[in-house]
Structure 1
Amino acid sequence: MTTTTTVEIEGLYCAACVGRAERVLRAQPGIDSAEVNLAQNTARIGFAGDPDLNAADTALKRAGYGLRHEVTRLALDGMTCASCVARVEKVLTALPGVEGATANLADTSVTVRHVAGPGMIPAMMAALGKAGYPAEPMTDARADRQAAEEAAMKRRFLWALGLTLPVFVLEMGGHLIPAFHHWVLHTIGQGPSWTVQALLTTIVLAGPGRVFLTRGLPSLARLSPDMNSLVAVGTLSAWIYSMVALLVPSVLPDNARAVYFEAAAVIVTLILMGRWLEARARGRTGAAIRRLVDLQPDSALVETPDGAEERSAHALRPGDILRIRPGERLAADGVVLSGTSYIDESMITGEPVPVAKAEGAEVTGGTVNGTGALRVQVTRAGADTRLQQIVRMVGEAQAGKLPIQALVDKVTAVFVPVVMGLALLAVVVWLVAGAALTQALVAGVSVLIVACPCAMGLATPTSILVGTGRAAELGILFRKGEALQRLSSVQGIAFDKTGTLTEGRPELTDVVLADGADRAQVLALAAAVEAQSEHPVALAIRRGAEGLAVPEADGVQAVPGQGVTGQVGGRQIALGNPRLMGAQGIDIAALSPAAADLAARGRTVLYAAVDGQPAALLAVADPIKPGAAPAVAALKAMGLKVAMVSGDAPATAQAVAAEIGIETVVAGVLPEGKVQAIGGLGPMAFVGDGINDAPVLAAAEVGLAMGQGTDVAIEAADVVLASGDPRAVATAVELARATLRNIRQNLFWAFAYNAALIPVAAGVFYPAFGLMLSPMLAAGAMALSSVFVLSNALRLRRAGHRIGEL
């Protein structure tokens, strides 16, 4: 039988490519036919048996082509525990063309890496549906879907609660109040009371509790039991036993004629309550990302030849000109054409102070305009905006698995079958020990119910979901989930200097005047002779003279390696280093001590002379960012080693490092030298911003890129610091540590809970202490374990300091 599959191919350019690709495919064992379509870049491949797309891909790559691969996220129904996670991944990875699958219990989704093709997503959805996990492509309506799931779970719980309360009162009321027991016997009677309990419990199981049966029993039949299977077997055992005691009591010993309808009904009700609380908590775990998505306004005011018109944000295109009114959110990224205002960019950077914007400034979609009106030309719209890139970046990080999750996966893969075996063993041991069938049944059902793997499955993904969401709120974007774990365990942080710890451009930092000189006059004269130069130092001097009346200079002459000379209003001006002053015969001895002090602090020092007399020292340097010193202090307080690795001159790097409190400095190194330097410092994270930092960002234990840095650096990094403030590094480390600490707490609770309560439920402590767990208490404990894990993860929503708090 031939199986036909259509896939997408990369590298096709002409008809010759088509012919070659077809020949390569047809030559592969197991391929009966191959038809390549150049217009659609697809190949329709007929396989004699099971499709082997990996072999086809390998063959095409050898010929210079290859199958296109993509990543798809699917939203799932029915994934309720860690066993479900393992099964979903197993079902998908068994499909031809699927390279890997990562299921996330926290947001009930799965991320699949697979060969691209029109039939792949339907095939994956069909396979998941057949396995009991209906799937659909992940959309922006996920929040609405989660809200609907929460509402449905709440309805099921309330329905079950209403039906269960009479059952519980009829059966347990007599145990709590003996007089009530006698009243029931003399008014209703034991038989009618049991009949009412049987009817109501049956409705509970067939109605709101049906979800456990319809999902748990098929999984059990496929020999891949999950948490639903445990609940289904436990509640059905109690129900069947009780129905036998009610309908055919003669088959049971006199001392074993009892009903456990209330146990079955209460178990279902309590677990539904736990599911409802889980659904509520899950809805809150993704709140940070939903808030980011909601920041994109629905429409914008666009200039047209016929005047301004309101247009949907989805219809915006690069080149459109927007009118941004005071207080409005921007609908796209762009550049200011006219107007001045302050814009609140805290949703991107985490920095609460509004940023001044004027003509030529870049603005970001989703940010809030202040009191001024702006005209903005769109540069990126729709899915290309920075906001949407952030949402995608964080979503990818949240879908990933941390290395610590590997232990959980191994345990949960065998957990449910082992629990069912332990439950059966508990029943057998109790019966062999001479206990009544009812007591043996209670032990087995309690083991089944209490040993829910939900908490184990939720422990890691919920913490990642909340931790990365909180980081995004603070302007810290984890591009890879595993970066959280690696960053939490680094021994130190190494910084690049220029653009990372410093502003990245020279500025006039000091003016030391000679006796009798006037500051404003000296700056105006210096700016005049530097007016035509584009040298960074010249630009810094001109910026330092902004606001002053700068005259025009004549006869300006640049002296290579020394400086510049010229005439301004008949006065002779010289601006440069000591060699220029010496050539001009100017005595600079009086200013030399101050010049030496400035040079020792990493400044570039220029002498300014007027009419052959020294007038001032002008010092230019790359200013240190205000957050650099607080960031270094905060990292040291965390016990981390802090270093600087820079390509700048050692003297300059040492001066900057000393000013902000860094003792370890490696300077004067090329990009490859930075990689070697990091390797010699131990497990270090590296923070950089430039193209030359890309290799070391990729090679470091964790690479952190400044958000205002180059695209190359950002692509090479694991974490992006949107604000560009060094203090965000300390916040990132703080959040990573808090998230991993939270995960460890969750895992400890989940494993300790099962390790402690399974033996109690089985009755191990009953002979010595009379301690045993009823199925109802087991159900309550099981529900609370998942709620505890989720609630603990939600504490991360308050973790981390904002930049201004450090």
Structure 2
Amino acid sequence: MTGPRNFIKVIDSTGSSRRFKATIDPEGEGAGRESHRKEEIKQYFRSFLWSLIFTTPVFLTSMVFMYIPGIKHGLDTKVVNMLTIGEVIRWVLSTPVQFIIGRRFYTGSYKALRHGSANMDVLIALGTNAAYFYSVYTVIRAASSPDFEGTDFFETSAMLISFILLGKYLEVLAKGKTSEAIAKLMNLAPETAILLSLDEEGNVISEEEIDSRLIQKNDIIKIIPGAKVASDGFVLWGQSHINESMITGEARPVAKRKGDTVIGGTVNENGVLHIKATKVGSESALAQIVRLVESAQMAKAPVQKFADRISKYFVPLVIMLSFSTWLAWFLAGKLHGYPESWIPSSMDSFELALQFGISVMVIACPCALGLATPTAVMVGTGVGASLGVLIKDGQALEGAHKVNCIVFDKTGTLTVGKPVVVNTRLLKNMVLHEFYELVAATEVNSEHPLTKAIIEYAKKFREDEENPAWPEARDFVSITGHGVKAIVRNKEVIVGNKSLMLENNIVIPVDAQDMLTETESMAQTGILVSIDGEVKGVLAISDPVKPGAQEVISILKSMNVRSIMVTGDNWRTASSIASYAVAMVGDGINDSPALLAADVGMAIGAGTDIAIEAADIVLMKSNLDDVITAIHLSRKTFSRIRLNYIWALGYNILGIPIAAGALFPSTGFRLPPWIAGAAMAASSVSVVCCSLLLKNYERPKKLENLEIGGIQIE
């Protein structure tokens, strides 16, 4: 089998390793994304730090030192005409903040406007430029005029940029935590693995520690106690218990022995195992889960369209409101529409109006609206993955919270999906193990799902043999939907339902009829066995109901979710549930069309086969209580999204009028632009933090007392 390990060995064997060395890229796709996120955090932190270094003296010279007589006198010293040392210092220090540190806002504005839209960067660029260039105007006027007295707003532009960069830093820091689920999943893979070399007889020749990324299909890997399983595969030798909670959410360690499958990234609890790798690299269950969670976090939920529609008109509306605010206050001042006592001593009516206009522009926050849905979806899908509930996209998450009707596929979903023989009644004097010899020999060539149950039960009478050889069956015939017949030991054996017996003119005794009626009343399948034209016995086969199924249905009822069981296509049932938001729960084997047709399709018991295309939500375990977890988690996520929208809209609806000076006439309270900018940054951070609270999600308490234990058949 060819793989990366072979390529590296071939390259090294050519002798070219003196010039260069072949190795696996340490920065894989996932690692690259993680390093990009860390670099983004570093960039914002560095930008904020440099901004703070320049902004602090600007703030001190304009807001603090003016109240210290000695320093104030020095700052008020004239340089040229009315231009003071303080104004020069503020101009020099705020310029790099505006154009070097704050260049990202110009770049973002240009890109947005080039594509015919406006974003938060446009508002920041307009607001800070208005403050900065008006201040430059006052500096030029002061330097050229012996009697000009004006106020600069260099501290406004510098502090605005500093607070917004702080907000952005906190935002990317918090957003990074929303994708922690992916990072944790990626860290499950062990760094190294022990590769075994075997001889032709299967004996271990040598052991070699290799990079786990160099594992190839069909490699034999040794897993020691306490180590992580290095690859998906199956057990060749040994037995142990493996903790699969990090992949499937299953709390209890799972027993593993020869032939059992194992999942890469899980932890070996005790014994030593030798496994054969079957799925490596991007094919592994862990890699598929990471891809699925990543795509879910990138996909837009339909509810996001609401924010997109608002954002489309938000920025132009804010610019218009900002200009209207400035114009209204400016005209009111010029026309003496308010007392002159309202104007601060350091300003005139134009500057007061400019402050209100800039405050409106920078307090408005479309970012909070834009972050409301994706951050909650990212956290919600990550939490789901840690619980073994894989939600494929935002649409599935949104659909699940609306579900008020669940259709359960019976076989393999409400039931275990493994039929077993629960009763045998012999109608004639016959030894039980001889009876099952004939039945098993007849059934062994059949592919019917019930065949395995009969064969497994028959093996109990041949406990001394692991794979017993059954007597030869001649003239085997399978009658679809009815049963099978064959000649075994010169006896004609027919195994099947009542119709098959009647077709072969076999009389069904009253005792057999009574037992068939009894089995059907207990939701079991009755099978008749005829030997040489005479019914000799009746088998009762049952597919046991999963433990906890009844309690799960009861809990769903308390959540106002209707539950329906289907065992086949039923038009009347389909018509009756057409008006509901329907979730279909199946095992993904024979119910893919139904999973696709439902509003939300849930595949249960997927195990390592998490790439079930038909399902919107994949439940890794076979526990029905995960259906409740999926619906409950989606409801919690969407209540968080609603809360985010209420906060984001409420903040803008209240904040913009206050920034425009709605409270100023009655209370004298106004928001300086730098405080408005800080409020805007805080609003985005608060939305992200609100979404992060979903990380504390706990399953419904009712599920904690729900016993999903083993199955006992009598």
Band of TM-score, shorter chain: 0.7 to 0.9
Show the counterpart of 1:216: 109
The SS at the match of 1:415 is helix
1:663-689 deviations in whole A, cap 9, x for unaligned?
xxxxxx37xx59945754632111112
For the 8 Å contact 1:447–1:762, the answer to whether it is kept is: yes
Q: How does 1:112-261 map to 2 (within 5 A)?
A: 140-173=31-64, 180-186=67-73, 188-189=75-76, 191-216=84-109, 224-249=117-142, 257-261=150-154
Does the 8 Å contact 1:697/1:713 carry over to 2?
no
1:336 and 2:235 are equivalent in the alignment: yes
- Asked if 1:274 is matched to 2:172, the reply is no
Partner residue in 1 for 2:194: 301
- 1:409-488 counterparts in 2 under 5 A? 409-434=308-333, 436-488=349-401
| Aligned partners of 1:705 and 1:713 also within 8 Å | no
Q: Does 1:398 align with 2:398?
A: no
The change in CA–CA distance for 1:710 and 1:217 in structure 2 (over 3 A counts) is closer
CA contact (8 A) 1:423 1:448 kept: yes
| Shift, 1:531, TM fit | 4.8
One-letter amino acid of the structure 1 residue matched with residue 565 of structure 2:
M
What one-letter code is carried by the residue in structure 2 that aligns with 1:782? M
- Residue in structure 2 matched with residue 98 of structure 1 by the alignment: none
Distance 2:301 2:169 in 1: 27
Structure 1 residue 634: Cα displacement: 2.4
1:539 Cα shift? 4.4
Q: 1:679 to 1:576 in 2, by over 3 A?
A: closer
Aligned partner letter, 1:777: I
CA contact (8 A) 1:706 1:714 kept: no
Asked if 1 retains the 8 angstrom alpha-carbon contact of 2:285 and 2:608, the reply is no
How big is each residue's C-alpha offset from its partner over 1:419-477, in whole Å with a ceiling of 9 and x where there is no partner? 12221121111111116111111011101111121111111111111111111111122
Cα pair distance change 1:234/1:697, threshold 3 Å: same
8 A Cα contact 2:235 2:261, kept in partner: yes
The alignment partner of 2:217 has SS state of coil
- Give the whole-Å Cα distance in 2 for the aligned partners of 1:555 and 1:233: 89
- Residue 403 of structure 2 aligns to a residue whose secondary structure is coil
**Contact 1:332 1:380 (C-alpha < 8 Å) held by counterparts:** yes
What is the match of residue 626 of structure 2? 728
**Most deviating of 159-168 and 423-432:** 159-168
Structure-1 separation of matches of 2:225 and 2:572: 46
Does the alignment pair 1:502 with 2:389? no
1:289 aligns with 2:199: no
SS at match of 1:257: coil
Q: Please say if residues 607 and 620 of structure 2, whose CA atoms lie closer than 8 Å, have aligned partners that are also in contact.
A: no
Give the match for residue 95 of structure 1.
Answer: none
Return the offset for 1:276: 0.7
Deviations 1:208-229 (A, max 9, x none): 3332244436756886442122
Q: Which runs of 5+ in 2 are unaligned?
A: 1-26, 78-83, 199-204, 335-348, 707-714
- Other-structure match for 2:681: 783
Contact kept, 8 Å, 1:693 with 1:713, in 2: the verdict is: no
Greater shift, 677-686 or 338-347, is seen at: 677-686
Among 234, 252, 255, the alignment partner of 1:356 is: 255
- Which whole-Å CA distance do the structure 2 matches of 1:615 and 1:254 have between them? 121
Are the counterparts in 2 of residues 225 and 417 from structure 1 also a CA contact under 8 Å? yes
- State the partner residue of 1:7: none
**Counterpart amino acid of residue 284 in structure 1:** K
Mapped partners of 1:150, 1:331: distance in 2? 32
For residues 100 and 567 of structure 2, what CA distance do their matches in structure 1 show?
67
Post-superposition shift, 1:555? 11
Q: Secondary structure at the match of 1:716?
A: coil
Name 1:703's counterpart in structure 2.
601
Residue 693 of structure 1 pairs with residue 591 of structure 2: yes
Q: CA RMSD in A?
A: 4.2
SS in 1 for 2:353: helix
SS at match of 1:429: helix
Task: Label 1:713 to 1:641 Cα distance change in 2 as closer, same or farther (>3 A).
Answer: farther
Match of 1:749 in 2: 647
Would you say the 8 A contact 1:419–1:451 is kept in 2? yes
Matched residues in 1 for 2:28 and 2:256: separation? Answer: 40
Q: Quote the offset at 1:138 in angstroms.
A: 6.4
Distance 1:351 1:778, change over 3 A: same
1:546 CA drift (Å)? 7.2
Task: Give the partner amino acid of 2:47.
Answer: R
Question: CA offset at residue 281 of structure 1?
Answer: 0.9
Percentage of identical aligned residues? 37
| Cα displacement (A) at 1:232 | 1.9
Instruction: Supply the AA of the counterpart residue of 1:629.
Output: Q
Checking the alignment, whether the CA contact within 8 Å between 1:483 and 1:719 is kept in structure 2 is yes
TM-score normalised per structure 2: 0.77
User: In structure 1, what is the Cα distance between the partners aligned to 2:295 and 2:666?
Assistant: 52
Whether the 8 Å contact between 2:296 and 2:392 is mirrored in structure 1 is yes
Distance change in 2, residues 1:221/1:718 (3 Å): closer
Q: Distance in 2 between matches of 1:214 and 1:599?
A: 74
Name the SS for the 1:388 alignment partner: helix
Greater shift in the superposed pair: 778-787 or 369-378: 369-378
Does the residue aligned with 2:613 lie in a helix, a strand or coil? helix
8 Å Cα contact 1:688-1:713 kept in structure 2: no
Deviations 1:351-401 (A, max 9, x none): 111211222212222222221222222221111112212222222222222
| Correspondence for 1:798 among 696, 704, 709 | 696
Helix, strand or coil for the counterpart of 2:662?
coil
Secondary structure of the structure 1 residue equivalent to 2:218: coil
Measured after TM superposition, the shift of residue 144 of structure 1 is: 1.3
User: Of the candidates 522, 542, 545, which is equivalent to residue 624 of structure 1?
Assistant: 545
Contact 1:556 1:564 in 2 (8 A): no
Question: For the Cα contact (< 8 Å) 2:608–2:620, is it kept in 1?
Answer: no
| Equivalent-residue separation in structure 1 for 2:473 and 2:365 (angstroms) | 83
Q: Distance in 2 between matches of 1:525 and 1:798?
A: 60
TM-score of the superposition, structure 1-length normalised?
Answer: 0.69
Report the equivalent of 1:4.
none
- Which has the larger displacement, 760-769 or 711-720? 711-720
In structure 2, relative to structure 1, the CA distance for the partners of 1:699 and 1:217 (3 Å cut) is closer
Q: For residues 630 and 249 of structure 1, what CA distance do their matches in structure 2 show?
A: 81
Output one character per residue of 1:623-662: Cα deviation in whole Å (capped at 9) or x when no partner: 1112422322222121111111112xxxxxxxxxxxxxxx
Deviations along 1:191-224, whole A, 9 cap, x unmatched?
Answer: 3333333333234334433322444367568864
Tell me, in whole angstroms, the C-alpha distance in 1 between the residues paired with 2:418 and 2:635: 34
Equivalent residues of 2:439, 2:529 under 8 A apart: no
Amino acid at match of 2:72: L
2:217 alignment partner in structure 1: 318
Structure showing greater relative contact order (alpha-carbon pairs closer than 8 Å, 6 or more residues apart): 2
Deviation at 1:719, TM superposition (A): 1.5
Distance 2:362 2:74 in 1: 34
Is this contact kept in 2: 1:351–1:723, CA < 8 A?
yes
Query: 1:690–1:709: 8 Å Cα contact kept in structure 2?
Result: no
* Alignment partners' CA distance in 1, 2:136 and 2:498: 104
Stretch deviating more after TM superposition (156-165 or 481-490): 156-165
CA 1:468–1:269: 2 relative to 1, 3 Å = same
Question: Is the 8 Å Cα contact of residues 256 and 438 (structure 1) preserved in structure 2?
Answer: no
- Alpha carbons 1:506, 1:621 under 8 Å: kept: yes
Whether contact under 8 Å (2:606, 2:618) holds in the other structure is no
Contact 2:220–2:276 (CA under 8 A) maintained in structure 1: yes
> Judging changes above 3 Å, is the alpha-carbon distance between structure 1 residues 206 and 250 closer, same or farther for their aligned structure 2 residues?
closer
